[in-house]
Structures are given as structure tokens and as C-alpha cells.
Amino acid sequence: MENFRHEWKHEISAFDAVLVRQRMQAVAKPDPYAKNGRYTIRSLYFDNLHDKALREKIDGVDRREKFRIRYYNGDLSVIHLEKKIKRNSLTSKESVPLTEPEARAIARGDYGFMQESPYELVKELCRKMQWEGLMPKTIVDYTREPFVYTPGNVRITLDYNIRTGLGCVDFLNPDCVTIPAGDPVIILEVKWDAFLPDIIRDALQLTNCRAGAYSKYAACRIYG
């Protein structure tokens, strides 16, 4: 059963990022998985020959989905296949584990093991790679500073140093070269379940932020 959450995205200034960091350190807790308050994320995003996911994002389609393979801090012992689903202002994410050989096989377009996978999400990706032409499109790298607040199951993140790489099959190589995805930006993301506590809402009041639907995947497609 899909578990949808609310999501805000804001493009903020470096000054506002300092304010958010200070305020979150006062009222929220750092994510226990972060090292020194942050971690790096590398994702391999999929799209079809007609760039369906990219075009739906740019056009603001209310109901859309994206597939990606993701790992953290260069650690190849924990890799996940994810599908992010968007329904208006709500989002949901499905996630299943992959081994390193499985992730490499998917990046090569090798369907063999996928059809026999115990995970329905892997089988779904297999079908869409075969019948809809879904394929790896680009690498997305960035640094994330995460904070959590238990009431409302709130997660606040600062994402920056967003980089892109087009050598998709090499995305499991920590030395794979990536380049900045356009002008530097800092993205504030806020996710919560049924309610956003006032203490968090008040702490995130900023004068210069721009609410919007910034997409790291779309930004990283500027070179192809």
C-alpha cells in the first residue's frame, strides 16, 4: 500500500541555509545515518527514449513516477532500487535492495536476473525496460544535510553540490567523473505525514526562499 507524504521544496540562498542549519540544530535532531551531519548520495535515473519522466516534470504533470538506483557515501554494500511516485503535492517512495552485481546488470540493460527477482519492483522495472524503453539516463550526485523531528514524522534536508555524470554504466565507480549541474543551488526539502508541527513551520520561515518544484534529475539533464 502506497504511503503518501507531503513535500515542500525551496531554492534558498547560502545565508538562509545557515539560518536553517542553526534553527534545525536547536529544535530537531540530525539523521542518525549522517556522518558529521551529512552524507553524499549518488543516483542513477532512468527514462525512456522520449524522455517521458523529464517532460512530465517540466510540464508539471500531476501524476508521475521516476525510477532510480541509489547508494550513499560511496558504500556499495547497501544499494537500493527506488520508484518515486508523485500525486499532486503528495509523494511516495517504494524501495528494494540490490546487490552490487545486480545493480551493474541493470545499468547494462541485462534483464536476466530481473525476471526471477523476488521483488515486484525489480520485475516492474524489467517490464518497463523491455516494453517502454526505460534505460539509464544520467548520474545525479549531491551532498545532503538531514534533520528529523519525530512528531509528524518530519524530515528536513539541505541539498547542495549537485553534480551530473553521463557515463551511466560507470555509476558504481566512486571515481566516475561528474560535473556541476548548472549554477550552484541549495535546495531545502521538507517532508511530513499528516501534519507539520508549528515549531518546524515557524523555524523554516525565510524571507528569500522560492517555493517550487526543483528537480535534481531535470537539472542534471542539461547536458544531455
Cα torsion angle, 115, 82, 160, 221, sign: positive
Q: Grid coordinates in use for 17?
A: 541555509
* CA dist., res. 207 & res. 219, Å (int): 24
How would you write 1-66 as a 3-class SS string? CCCCEEEEEEEECHHHHHHHHHHHHHHCEECCCCECCEEEEEEEEEECCCCHHHHHHHHCCCEEEE
Taking residue 204's Cβ as centre, other Cβ atoms within 10 Å add up to 20
Tell me what pLDDT residue 38 has: 95
Tell me what pLDDT residue 77 has: 95
Tell me what pLDDT residue 211 has: 63
Tell me what pLDDT residue 195 has: 93
- 14-35 b/e with 16+ CB inside 10 Å = b? eebbebbeebbeeebebbeebe
- 159-195 b/e with 16+ CB inside 10 Å = b? bbbbbbbbebeebbeeeeebeebeeebbbbbbbbeee
With contact defined as beta carbons under 8 Å apart, do 121 and 161 qualify?
Answer: no
| Tens digit of each residue's pLDDT, the chain (224 residues) | 468 999 998 899 999 999 999 999 999 998 988 888 999 999 999 999 999 999 988 888 888 999 999 999 999 999 999 999 998 879 999 999 999 999 999 998 888 899 999 999 999 999 999 999 999 999 999 999 999 999 999 999 999 999 998 767 789 988 888 999 988 999 999 999 999 999 999 999 887 666 666 789 888 887 66
Tell me what pLDDT residue 208 has: 67
Would you put residue 152 in left (φ > 0), alpha (ψ -120 to 50) or beta? left
Tell me what pLDDT residue 88 has: 82
Tell me what pLDDT residue 174 has: 80
* CA dist., res. 135 & res. 67, Å (int): 10
* CA dist., res. 192 & res. 198, Å (int): 12
Tell me what pLDDT residue 176 has: 86
